[in-house]
Structure 1
Amino acid sequence: MGKPLRVGIIGCGAIIAQYLANFRRLDQIHLVAVADLDPARARAVAEGYDGVRAVSVDELLAADDVDLVLNLTIPAAHAEVALRAIAAGKSVYGEKPLAATTGEARQVLDAARAAGVTVGCAPDTVLGTGIQTARKAIDDGLIGKPISATATMVTPGHERWHPNPDFYYQPGGGPLLDMGPYYVSALVTLLGPVVSVMGAASHTRNQRTIGSGPRKGQLVPVDIDSHVTGVLVHASGALSTLFMSFDAVQSKSPNIEIHGENGSLVVPDPNHFDGNVQLFGLGADSWETLPVSAGYVDSGRGFGIADLAATPAGSEPRAGGLLAYHVLEVMESVLESARSGAAVPIHSTAARPDAVELGCLAVQEISS
């Protein structure tokens, strides 16, 4: 108690920079070691962060001074790395998704439960002021009983900017599995767990042309549906509609919109931590921007780990494994429904995470 959570990172790709920037200002976290299949990348990170050593994956997993492993490997390796960390007695926090499939994700959760360690998972964007202010507006009854929501993510495709976009168009990729964790996590945080889904999907092109980098002009095969629509039935009775596309060009629709008996909310981009929340109340003449009223101020990637560190022993973290598993099952089931043409029940559930009061993460008593 009273000591920072000692963290080791496996995977030193591009996303690590955002975590490192926030770790430097989070008193709940003490970064001690980094590892990567490319030792040079791990050494580069260690050289730029005082007190951090570059080690092999095996050395990091065996280290006595690592309490939690931050898993920043590719999605296909998420379960393997998490299971190795758990077997070594470490808690785990992973980038989204929790695993490539719900079957693998279940193995991770079961292993963690047996070992008595904690599992957390991105996205932690839901802990920021954007989603949390919207949640408080719903909890305070500003829109009455929630009826429905829409969640929209439109881009003409990551190949326009990503130098190696192949993964996005292979099984395990696609707009829903890539960006859906942000949107579905936000919807569950706002409206509660999902009990069944229906889905439909399509794709417009069998090949994509890389638009940047050394492979510019090369063709990438498309082996997945690149446009997905889903309807989520929440346990509360609210209905959410997902619109996730790598095919369409642009949208003027809000990223997320929530409709209730007495008003509607525009919710900011769930891939960000902040943003304006707008309310149009019954009988109003225009949209009103609500004051920031909840969530971690000035937050960013890694705040979910600091929140986990401050979570009482035995309690589920807000950005926890149960929520990540539920979100993954929802997404898998939307794609299953798209293939079968039938509604698919959701077997898992996840309690709506505790609300985050407005404030900054300060030094707290830490359990590791």
Structure 2
Amino acid sequence: MDAVKVGLIGCGNISAAYLRAAAFFPELQITCCADLNESQARARAEEFGLRAVPIDALLSDPEIEVVLNLTTPQAHVPVGLDAIAHGKHVHGEKPLATSTAEGRKLIEAAAKAGLRVGSAPDTFLGGAHQTARKLIDDGAIGKPLSGTAFMMNHGHEHWHPDPRFYYARGGGPMLDMGPYYLTNLVNLLGPVAKVMGSANAGFTGRTVGSGPRSGETITVETATHVTGLLHFVSGAVIAVTTSFDVWQHRHGNMEIYGSQGSLVVPDPNRFGGTVSIARQREAWADVPLSHGIADGNFRIIGLADMARAIRAGRPHRCSGELAFHVLEVMEAFQRSSDEERTVTIESRCERPAPLPARPVLGDLG
């Protein structure tokens, strides 16, 4: 297939991972990059052999088919709308938007223009999570009934050079890390029907621990501990906690409990890991991975799948509809907490198509 030409906007911390991974996917040709911080764009361009251009020039380039939007969450929708207005498909970092109202604008604008929206995370396409999906689809644990999902740490300020956006409105552990967990749960179990949630902030300020802002205090403007229950359309009920308030814990990342057994699913922020199964009263056993995309950081595979989907005329897996559904679910935790009620989820999405069980990186079916 002819490579899809891509322009990258947002040359911050995560862009290096995308650009390193792009070398594994010949269906993508990232030609240029841009950032409001022009020196940052020039540094990335020099590092990866790209052209550093102004944002307007990138958007106006007729050869660019897809804009890869790696800006901070608060800029995801404005940049995405600009890309769509210039006739470009857009694939962005997670979350899709900082609110469903903003996310809806992006989805509707793309639909009106006949363009595609894609969004991270794409880690659910990794070998471990596709193996877990296959086990569930094959009935290895019977009907999924319940489960748990935990993402708990003490925030990112100890390592991130500028962590302010994590604690601003539209940030927090649910919107930052929740997409990995909830997207994978939708991949495994299908869409969510309703949410019961509770949210609070354990600390009013955070101290930056590294980089040029080291020692600076950040005011916390969002919930930093979010917990609750997801009721899936399928009938499964999953307990979820995301937190930046926890120093240490011993919970696993994710477990699914079925009518005939239990399944351990590894960190959904990674492509690989160990999948384990226990059938009824049998001992736990590790499962060989049925899919090969497992070792490494391939945080561009969702865009590679979109590129192939554009050429083939099929749906792409990391779709805007999936990302919007996950965004509505994440937002519902805070709404449920604020309004002290169960929140019904209005949107629905299809489970993304499973990957074929092939070991070849980039063979996305």
Q: CA deviation at 1:362?
A: 4.7
Q: Aligned residue for 2:350?
A: 351
Given that 1:109 and 1:321 are in contact with CA atoms closer than 8 Å, whether structure 2 keeps it comes out as yes
Alignment of 1:47-196 (within 5 A): 47-50=46-49, 52-196=50-194
Given that 2:24 and 2:361 are in contact with CA atoms closer than 8 Å, whether structure 1 keeps it comes out as no
User: Matched residues in 1 for 2:9 and 2:161: separation?
Assistant: 23
Given that 1:202 and 1:227 are in contact with CA atoms closer than 8 Å, whether structure 2 keeps it comes out as yes
User: Matched residues in 1 for 2:53 and 2:201: separation?
Assistant: 43
Q: Deviations over 1:148-199 (max 9, x none)?
A: 1211011022222233322222211111111100000011000100011010
What is the total number of aligned residue pairs between the two structures?
362
Given that 1:97 and 1:121 are in contact with CA atoms closer than 8 Å, whether structure 2 keeps it comes out as yes
Q: Aligned residue for 1:244?
A: 242
User: Matched residues in 2 for 1:62 and 1:105: separation?
Assistant: 23
Q: Aligned residue for 2:286?
A: 289
| SS of residue in 1 equivalent to 2:206 | strand
Given that 1:128 and 1:273 are in contact with CA atoms closer than 8 Å, whether structure 2 keeps it comes out as yes
User: Matched residues in 2 for 1:9 and 1:310: separation?
Assistant: 18
Given that 1:136 and 1:294 are in contact with CA atoms closer than 8 Å, whether structure 2 keeps it comes out as no
Q: 1:201 to 1:297 in 2, by over 3 A?
A: closer
Mean alpha-carbon deviation: is it higher for 193-202 or for 246-255? 246-255
Amino acid aligned to 1:294: H
| SS of residue in 1 equivalent to 2:309 | coil
| SS of residue in 2 equivalent to 1:310 | helix
| SS of residue in 1 equivalent to 2:240 | strand
Q: 1:145 to 1:114 in 2, by over 3 A?
A: same
Q: Deviations over 1:24-43 (max 9, x none)?
A: 12111011111111222222
Q: CA deviation at 1:48?
A: 2.8
Q: CA deviation at 1:128?
A: 0.6
Q: 1:40 to 1:292 in 2, by over 3 A?
A: same
Query: Could you list the runs of 5+ residues in structure 2 that have no partner in the other structure?
Result: none
| SS of residue in 1 equivalent to 2:321 | helix
Q: CA deviation at 1:245?
A: 1.0
User: Matched residues in 2 for 1:17 and 1:31: separation?
Assistant: 12
1:259 aligns with 2:237: no
Q: 1:164 to 1:53 in 2, by over 3 A?
A: closer
Given that 1:196 and 1:233 are in contact with CA atoms closer than 8 Å, whether structure 2 keeps it comes out as yes
TM superposition score normalised by structure 1 = 0.94
Amino acid aligned to 1:245: S
User: Matched residues in 1 for 2:161 and 2:38: separation?
Assistant: 22
Given that 1:295 and 1:357 are in contact with CA atoms closer than 8 Å, whether structure 2 keeps it comes out as no
| SS of residue in 2 equivalent to 1:205 | coil
User: Matched residues in 1 for 2:313 and 2:321: separation?
Assistant: 13
User: Matched residues in 1 for 2:326 and 2:362: separation?
Assistant: 29
1:15 aligns with 2:2: no
Aligned mate of 1:208, from 206, 209, 224: 206
Q: Aligned residue for 1:6?
A: 5
Q: CA deviation at 1:248?
A: 1.5
User: Matched residues in 2 for 1:213 and 1:92: separation?
Assistant: 31
Q: Deviations over 1:207-252 (max 9, x none)?
A: 2222223433332222222111121110000011111111112222
User: Matched residues in 2 for 1:205 and 1:364: separation?
Assistant: 43
Amino acid aligned to 1:25: F
| SS of residue in 2 equivalent to 1:306 | helix
| SS of residue in 2 equivalent to 1:158 | coil
Given that 2:24 and 2:362 are in contact with CA atoms closer than 8 Å, whether structure 1 keeps it comes out as no
Amino acid aligned to 1:276: T
Q: Aligned residue for 2:308?
A: 310
| SS of residue in 2 equivalent to 1:148 | strand
Q: Deviations over 1:87-124 (max 9, x none)?
A: 11110000001112111111111111111111110000
Q: Aligned residue for 2:319?
A: 320
Runs of 4+ in 1 over 6 A off after TM superposition: none
| SS of residue in 2 equivalent to 1:97 | coil
User: Matched residues in 1 for 2:306 and 2:188: separation?
Assistant: 20
Given that 2:59 and 2:86 are in contact with CA atoms closer than 8 Å, whether structure 1 keeps it comes out as yes
Q: CA deviation at 1:363?
A: 7.3
Amino acid aligned to 2:321: L
Mean alpha-carbon deviation: is it higher for 222-231 or for 234-243? 222-231
Given that 2:77 and 2:102 are in contact with CA atoms closer than 8 Å, whether structure 1 keeps it comes out as yes
